[in-house]
Homo-oligomer: A and B are copies of this chain.
Amino acid sequence: MSEFTSLDFQMMSRAIELAKGGIYTTPPNPNVGCVITRDGEIVGEGFHFRAGEPHAEVHALRMAGNQAEGATAYVTLEPCSHYGRTPPCAEGLINAKVAKVICAMQDPNPQVAGRGIQMLREAGIEVQVGLLEQDANALNPAFIKRMKTGMPYVQLKMAASLDGQTALANGQSQWITSPQARQDVQKYRAQSGAILSTSKTVIDDNASLNVRWADLPKSVQASYLEQGLRQPVRVILDRQNQLTPELKLFHTGGDKIIVSEQGNLTPKINHQQQIDLRETLADLANSHNINHVWVEAGATLASSLIQAELVDELILYLAPKIMGSDGRGLLGALGLDSMADVIELDIKDVRQIGKDIRIVASLLKKEM
């Protein structure tokens, strides 16, 4: 095990903070930050801002100029070793003659992990790996999951009253949650690679399911300019070909993927004659480079995704209301016969958002 100094921890923390500057714009690329120091002083720093634009290391090296020679570079992710839309960052660090590179983590793609590090070491640069690795992981859960498994990271958004109802028996449900909760949803949408829903939700609510800059929280607007707004792909399951062109969805900018026989993604159909959700998600990851899917839909899709164990994280908004058990439940029937079969979650965060409560919980995989 390498030993890290307290200066190392400070600099990597700074690199991790920098990386967060790209959370709305880097998809499908990861968030990466970089700090370059010489004699304990920062001489360059940067982060990856947008896919197709320079990587974090490039910004930091440009800022450092010839002070990079003999310097130490802190990078939150192993520098890339391949020629993509930009030249490999490992090469940039070598050309700048840095003396040492500290990476928080290896590349999560097992096919390429370690190549950037190897390239640096072969050029005589000292490399250490693993500083604040957990924090670096937390920057890119979705990117890492897709790289490791070929499946996207799925967040399921739901909203209900304290007693778990989403609507009255007659279907009324307007404004269950507060404006602040709806702003918070906009923030999640803005961070996602795709927003997944169903034709039923799109038609019932004439929902556009897009990111509306004016509805983002002020704190987000301050660092995410309207001109640079990235619109996640909207993916609508439309088994029955019910979507029609006058719907608001089709009159807002941004890519749409309509999963239907007549749409632009032909679904695999399972033996229940329904769209195979696992295959659809795998398609989004592999053919459309989507790391991160944000689901907003009704009880039916939510239950199907949960039962198929395709949900990584539940984001549940609970409004301070009681509606009574004759309303509409959060989920469909799951047909469980034993408490041992109940779906278990792990609470990651609970907080008040306006008048509402937001619960973030990860779904635990059943042991087989």
B324 touches A331 (CB 8 A): yes
Q: Which residues of chain B come closer than 8 Å to A168, judged between CB atoms?
A: 336-339, 342
* Whole-angstrom distance between the Cβ of A349 and the nearest chain B Cβ: 9
Judge if A320 is at the interface, Cβ distance under 8 Å.
Answer: yes
A329 touches B173 (CB 8 A): no
Stretch at the interface among A16-24, A115-123, A352-360: A352-360
Report how far A323 CA is from B14 CA in the complex, Å.
Answer: 42
Report how far A168 CA is from B306 CA in the complex, Å.
Answer: 17
Q: Which of B318, B331, B338, B356 contacts A325 (CB 8 A)?
A: B331
* Whole-angstrom distance between the Cβ of A160 and the nearest chain B Cβ: 7
Judge if A343 is at the interface, Cβ distance under 8 Å.
Answer: yes
Judge if A246 is at the interface, Cβ distance under 8 Å.
Answer: no
Judge if A322 is at the interface, Cβ distance under 8 Å.
Answer: yes
Known: A164-B160, A339-B175, A347-B355. A324 touches B320 (CB 8 A): no
Contact with B along A255-298 (1 / 0, CB 8 A): 00000000000000000000000000000000000000000000
Q: Which residues of chain B come closer than 8 Å to A339, judged between CB atoms?
A: 168, 172-176
A345 touches B357 (CB 8 A): no
Q: Which residues of chain B come closer than 8 Å to A344, judged between CB atoms?
A: 320-321
Contact with B along A158-189 (1 / 0, CB 8 A): 00111111001110111110000000000000
Q: Which residues of chain B come closer than 8 Å to A331, judged between CB atoms?
A: 163, 322, 324-325
A335 touches B324 (CB 8 A): yes
Q: Which of B173, B342, B357 contacts A347 (CB 8 A)?
A: B357
B361 touches A320 (CB 8 A): yes
Judge if A53 is at the interface, Cβ distance under 8 Å.
Answer: no
A324 touches B333 (CB 8 A): yes
Judge if A52 is at the interface, Cβ distance under 8 Å.
Answer: no
Q: Which residues of chain B come closer than 8 Å to A320, judged between CB atoms?
A: 344-347, 361
* Whole-angstrom distance between the Cβ of A154 and the nearest chain B Cβ: 15
Q: Which residues of chain B come closer than 8 Å to A323, judged between CB atoms?
A: 334, 336, 342-343
A325 touches B321 (CB 8 A): no
Judge if A147 is at the interface, Cβ distance under 8 Å.
Answer: no
Judge if A128 is at the interface, Cβ distance under 8 Å.
Answer: no
* Whole-angstrom distance between the Cβ of A332 and the nearest chain B Cβ: 6
Known: A164-B164, A350-B352. A303 touches B332 (CB 8 A): no
A334 touches B324 (CB 8 A): yes
Judge if A216 is at the interface, Cβ distance under 8 Å.
Answer: no
Report how far A323 CA is from B338 CA in the complex, Å.
Answer: 10
A359 touches B161 (CB 8 A): no
Q: Which residues of chain B come closer than 8 Å to A351, judged between CB atoms?
A: 350
Report how far A324 CA is from B355 CA in the complex, Å.
Answer: 26
Report how far A335 CA is from B318 CA in the complex, Å.
Answer: 20
B345 touches A322 (CB 8 A): yes
Q: Which residue among A161, A334, A359, A361 has the maximum number of chain B CB atoms within 10 Å of its CB?
A: A334
Q: Which residues of chain B come closer than 8 Å to A316, judged between CB atoms?
A: 162
Judge if A51 is at the interface, Cβ distance under 8 Å.
Answer: no
Q: Which of B160, B345, B355 contacts A321 (CB 8 A)?
A: B345
B350 touches A321 (CB 8 A): no
Q: Which residue among A169, A324, A334 has the maximum number of chain B CB atoms within 10 Å of its CB?
A: A324
6 new A-B contacts at CB < 8 Å, known A161-B342, A325-B330, A350-B352: A172-B337, A172-B339, A173-B339, A299-B325, A324-B336, A326-B335
The 7 listed contacts between A and B (C-beta, < 8 Å) are A160-B164, A162-B345, A163-B329, A163-B330, A318-B359, A321-B345, A322-B345
